[in-house]
Amino acid sequence: MEEKNYKEYLNHITTFIFDVDGVLTDCNVLVTTTGELLRNMNVKDGFALKFAVNAGYNVAIISAGTNEGVKLRLESLGIKDVYLGAYDKIKQFETYIINNNINPENILYMGDDVPDYPVMKVVGLPTCPQDAIPEIKGISKYISHKKGGEGAARDVIEQVLKVQGKWAL
């Protein structure tokens, strides 16, 4: 059976779900002298996330991380469904789709590492940044040419919105 080209899935996407570390960040953590963990997030990813929210898409974050600064940043972009401390991502995912009546086939999920694997196996369009681990690349229907924290989220959001005629330009 021939595998569909990932572009055939773009018209059906209504929901974006992203991991944080390694997807919306570059995997680096700066540790301050007080023990605070600082992350680097891309403003172009932020623009695309906010644009998707404003265009009426469901946008959610599922991360095992618990950084309050990350939560504040994402909420400032208009993302209401920010799930931090989600060590069992598939459980949080199932709760989210049930509560919001979302079909997994209409979801684009971007992850980069082992904790993302179970969710990526059940969504319509599993995607990953260029620097994801090999196992995640192996199940992704699209591998961005961008690394995590360097525009990978913008890449997939822009592609979906352009195909659906909802992008800015």
The reply to whether 88 sits in an annotated binding site is no
- Which of 92, 73, 44 has its CA nearest to residue 111? 92
At 147, give phi and psi (nearest 5°): -80, 165
Q: What is the DSSP string of 79-128?
A: --EEE-S-SSHHHHHHHHHHHHT--GGGEEEE--SGGGHHHHTTSSEEEE
Write down how long the chain is: 169
The reply to whether 113 sits in an annotated binding site is no
Residue with tokens 């209504």: 14
The reply to whether 19 sits in an annotated binding site is yes
- Residues at the binding site for substrate are 21
- Residues at the binding site are 19, 21, 112
- Residues at the binding site for Mg(2+) are 19, 112
